[in-house]
C-alpha cells in the first residue's frame, strides 16, 4: 500500500484499489484469526470431552479456508464500489475507502472485540470452575492448580491487552478522522495494528507448551522430558 501510494507516480486506479483491497484483507485476516483462536479456546474448555473428536483436521482446514475467503471478500469491497475515487472529499484515512464505509468497518471491529472479551470472560469462569472442582477432589494439588489457573488468566490478559492496545486506537481514529488529517497519524496508528500479528506468535511461543513442543521438534527433533511428563491444564489454552 505504501509503495503504490508514494512510489508509483501517479498510481493507477486499479493499483490503488488493489493495494487498498490487500490491506483490508490482511487486517481482516489478522482480526478474524484471533477471533477464531478465541472461539477454539472456548470450545476446548466448554466441550472438553468431545472437543478432540469434533475438531478434526478436515474441519480445521475448512474453517481456515472459509475465514480466508471471507477476508478476501472484504478485500474486494473497494473494487465493488467502496471507494472515493469519484469524490475525494468523501475519503477516509483508509483512502480510497469512504468515511462511511470506514466507519462500518471500525464499528464491526469493535463489536468483534467485544465478542472476544465476552468469550475470554467465559473462559475464565470455566477455568476457575474446573480448578475448584479439582481442588475439592484432590486437596494436595490445589496449590498447583491455582498456580496453573493464574498463569492461564495472565496469558489471556496479556493476549487481549496487547490486541486492544494495538487495534483500538486505530479503530477509533478511523471513526473520527478523515483524509484531511496528516498521513503520518494514520501510519503511526496502523503500524501497531500490523505489528500485533508479529507479537502474538511470540506470546504463544513463550506461554503455550504445545507450541513450545512444536518449536523443539522443528529445531532439534526432540522434546525435553519436562514437557512429556507435564499434564495439560487450563493455562495451556
Fill in the DSSP letter of residue 106. H
pLDDT of residue 68: 93
pLDDT of residue 49: 75
Answer whether residue 128 shows pLDDT above 80. no
Query: Would you state the cell numbers that stand for residue 113, as one nine-digit string?
Result: 472485540
pLDDT of residue 115: 92
When pLDDT is averaged across residues 170-176 and rounded to a whole number, the result is: 88
Query: Would you state the cell numbers that stand for residue 178, as one nine-digit string?
Result: 478523515
Please provide the size of the chain in residues.
237
pLDDT of residue 149: 56
Closest to 75 measured CA to CA, from 105, 112, 35:
105
pLDDT of residue 136: 65
The domain 1-220: what is its CATH number?
Answer: 1.20.1070.10
The model's pTM: 0.74
E strands, the chain, where? none
pLDDT of residue 147: 56
Check if the beta carbon of residue 18 is closer than 8 Å to that of residue 26.
Answer: no
Range with the lowest mean pLDDT among 61-65, 102-106, 108-112, 151-155?
A: 151-155
Closest to 123 measured CA to CA, from 229, 223, 180, 43:
43
Sequence-separated (6 or more) residues with CB below 8 Å from residue 1: 19, 20, 22, 23
Predicted confidence (pLDDT) per residue in 197-224, tens digit: 888 778 877 777 777 787 778 877 776 6
Predicted confidence (pLDDT) per residue in 110-126, tens digit: 999 899 889 888 888 88
Question: Counting Cβ atoms within 10 Å, is residue 67 exposed (0-12), middle (13-18) or buried (19+)?
Answer: middle
User: Distance between CA 166 and CA 160 in Å, rounded?
Assistant: 10
**Domain range list for the chain:** 1-220
pLDDT of residue 65: 94
User: Distance between CA 111 and CA 67 in Å, rounded?
Assistant: 17
User: Distance between CA 24 and CA 29 in Å, rounded?
Assistant: 8
Check if the beta carbon of residue 1 is closer than 8 Å to that of residue 24.
Answer: no
Amino acid at each position: 500500500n505504501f509503495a503504490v501510494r508514494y512510489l508509483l507516480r501517479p498510481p493507477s486506479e486499479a493499483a490503488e484499489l488493489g493495494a487498498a483491497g490487500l490491506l483490508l484483507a490482511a487486517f481482516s485476516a489478522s482480526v478474524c484469526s484471533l477471533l477464531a483462536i478465541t472461539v477454539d479456546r472456548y470450545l476446548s474448555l466448554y466441550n472438553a470431552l468431545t472437543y478432540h473428536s469434533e475438531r478434526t483436521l478436515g474441519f480445521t482446514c475448512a474453517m481456515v479456508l472459509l475465514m480466508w475467503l471471507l477476508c478476501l471478500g472484504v478485500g474486494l469491497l473497494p473494487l465493488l464500489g467502496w471507494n472515493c475515487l469519484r469524490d475525494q472529499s468523501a475519503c477516509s484515512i483508509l483512502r480510497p475507502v469512504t468515511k462511511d464505509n470506514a466507519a462500518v468497518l471500525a464499528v464491526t471491529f469493535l463489536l468483534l472485540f467485544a465478542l472476544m472479551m465476552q468469550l475470554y470472560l467465559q473462559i475464565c469462569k470455566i477455568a476457575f470452575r474446573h480448578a475448584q472442582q479439582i481442588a475439592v477432589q484432590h486437596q494436595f494439588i490445589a496449590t498447583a492448580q491455582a498456580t496453573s489457573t493464574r498463569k492461564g488468566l495472565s496469558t489471556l490478559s496479556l493476549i487481549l491487552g496487547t490486541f486492544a492496545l494495538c487495534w483500538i486506537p486505530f479503530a477509533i481514529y478511523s471513526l473520527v478522522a478523515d483524509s484531511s488529517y496528516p498521513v503520518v497519524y494514520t501510519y503511526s496508528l496502523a503500524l501497531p495494528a500490523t505489528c500485533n500479528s508479529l507479537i502474538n506468535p511470540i506470546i504463544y511461543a513463550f506461554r503455550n507448551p504445545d507450541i513450545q513442543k512444536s518449536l523443539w521438534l522443528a529445531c532439534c527433533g526432540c522434546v525435553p522430558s519436562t514437557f512429556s511428563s507435564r499434564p495439560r491444564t487450563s493455562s495451556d489454552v
